[in-house]
Chains A and B, each alone.
Chain A
Amino acid sequence: MKICCLVKEVPDAAVQKRLDPATKRLDRSGEKTLNQFDTHGIEAAMQIREGGAVEVDEIVAVTMGPDSAQRALHKAVALGADRSVHLSDDALAGSDVCATGYALAKVLESESPDLVLLGQQSDDGECYTIGAVVADHLKMPSLTQVIEMDVAGEKLRCERQAEYGYDTVEIQLPAVISVGDAINEPRYPSLKAIMGAKKKPLDSKATGDVGIESDKVGEAGSQTQVLAINPPPEKQAGEVFEDEDTNETVEKIVAWLDERKLI
């Protein structure tokens, strides 16, 4: 079985984020880190390999991003991926979800994976969509927010918490699975793995290498555009009062709740 793990470099959660007023997109300068949710994807791949139910020939980390994204690949490899693929091209800059999903699907196509794993969301605001976009392009079945996954032959048995409770779904390989953070506890990379990460093969690919049509990616290929950035609506300063007569206080609270249709 060949597993591809999609990983993404995102601004570190601890860094105060800001929007670049010029491009109206997330200012991605400053510290970046491997998207924490993607580490769960890599861990899931490692657990399949170590579980022994199926033989895993290769775990490949795949990312789309500028040069700095290689750091995310090094981390992914330190966590256990055998090699990595870096899709990088100026033409890809400014891609929205539609364009990004298409581009990732093309690079994954060139790898022909049996299973694609990724984190269900990332700290930079994107959530629950890339997996499904990629899967449709690849013509593979897909599931998101998976918190439990078992491999049995050519099938996966997955669990996820949907609108009405827990769904158990059987899905045939090849498939694209987006995992939630409850699925596993990612391991820490050993120092040996960290030191050896740069030596593992890293293939850089440009759009032409994997058949990406440039009019479908980048700013030009994006189907959404940010029109404006506004501060959040002014929250009316709330009323604060002292509890002098508890019965009255409680009446007041209940009236307030009622007014807002909360009871």
Chain B
Amino acid sequence: MADILVYALHDDEGNFNKNSLGAISEAAKLASETGGAASAVVVGDVSDDAAAALGKYGATKVYRAKACPEGLAQPIVDVMAKVITDNGIGYALFGGGLLGFEIGAGLTARLGAGVTMEVTAVKAADGKLVAERPVLQDSAIVDVGYVSEPGIIIGRLNAFDVAESGAGTAEVEDVEVELSEWSTKATMVTRGEARGEDVNIEDADILVGGGRGLGEKDNFKLAEDLAGSLGGAVAATRAVVDAGWYPYSTQIGQTGKTVAPKLYLAVGISGAIQHKVGMQSSENILAINKDQNAPIFEFCDLGVVGDLHKIMPKLTEAIKAKKGG
């Protein structure tokens, strides 16, 4: 039997991060399998209602440290270490995202705990948890067990789905935590500043990847329109970046970025391995290419052999309609 504590990150307006909610949902599921309880920890000025509402996702209890600032890891390490130790909690679970890594790592040191990162799945066995994570460019999955408790599990982005399973509201318990001397040595000057320029394609849920099959630079507009309709971003192959059709910051592949979005829509991309290694972990791969022998058709989830110039505009319209309606 093991209790699981999940860190729930929120923004300055009190909205909880999707990955945190996913982690709570996952914790609830696992807790029921281990016979323990799932709880959440929040810091900063979180209203009673907002905290209790985490019960919707399966948290039976929410620990709240009002005096602890949100957004920087080390004060939260102090909070979680105390909660874990005081309550004999077996595992700390984090949804994908930078803070999860920093807090999880700090807890590793503080509690002398084992940590697994980039976790894609967690399973329960004999009241204990085993974390699964991909290695070697996703060519193998390792099962990692914990020698002692507590164990720290840091999920990959989008690894845990949000599920409203809970009975209703969670019990909110306020905790007072003395912050470590060094936890107050970092101060947030500006938090979460949006900058117009390059969308970080590594964080996008949906990507439309454009390749040479687009034909010319101007045709990237087709990709942009399609991405827009899906609420995603545009990525590119080495060949088109080489040709100057799209910026290097969007290049995916062996010498570019590695991404694992929920949907990768490859248009006019042959699927050479130099590109494949950068996007093969995408949850869903849809390919449109006029060459039926293109390698991409060997590893996509849905492939359309056809003229992207004909298909893409119609697809964009259809998606807009579907969403609007």
Identify the A interface with B (CB < 8 A).
17-19, 24, 26, 96-98, 101-102, 105, 125-137, 139-145, 157, 160-172, 175, 216, 222-233, 235-236, 238-243, 246-247, 249-251, 253-254, 256-258, 260, 262-263
Contacts and interface: CB of A to CB of B under 8 A. Distances in A.
A249 B189 contact: no
Contact of A241 (B105, B106, B116, B305): B305
A232 B143 CA distance: 11
A128 B73 CA distance: 12
Contacts of B102: 128, 132, 142-144
Contacts of A132: 73, 101-103, 105-106, 108-109
A133 B186 contact: no
Contacts of A263: 230, 319, 322-323
Contacts of A19: 135-136, 140, 142
**What is the interface of chain B mostly: helix, strand, loop, or mixed?**
mixed
B49 interface: no
B32 interface: no
A45 B323 CA distance: 50
B141 interface: yes
B108 A250 contact: no
A100 B84 CA distance: 23
Given A163-B98, A224-B146, A262 B230 contact: yes
Interface of B: 9, 11, 17, 19, 71-74, 77, 97-99, 101-106, 108-110, 112-118, 130, 134-148, 151, 154, 180-183, 185-195, 200, 206, 230, 262-263, 284-286, 292, 297, 299-307, 310-311, 314-315, 318-319, 322-323
Which of A164, A168, A172, A227: most chain B Cβ within 10 A?
A: A164
6 contacts: A127-B101, A130-B105, A167-B190, A223-B115, A224-B146, A246-B310
**What is the interface of chain A mostly: helix, strand, loop, or mixed?**
mixed
Contacts, number: 275
A74 to B, nearest CB: 26
Nearest to A163: B97
B112 A216 contact: yes
B109 A98 contact: yes
Given A163-B97, A223-B147, A250-B314, A170 B114 contact: no
Contacts of A251: 318
B138 A232 contact: yes
A240 B297 contact: yes
Nearest to B303: A240
Contacts of B311: 243, 246, 249-250
Contacts of A136: 74, 77, 105-106, 108-110
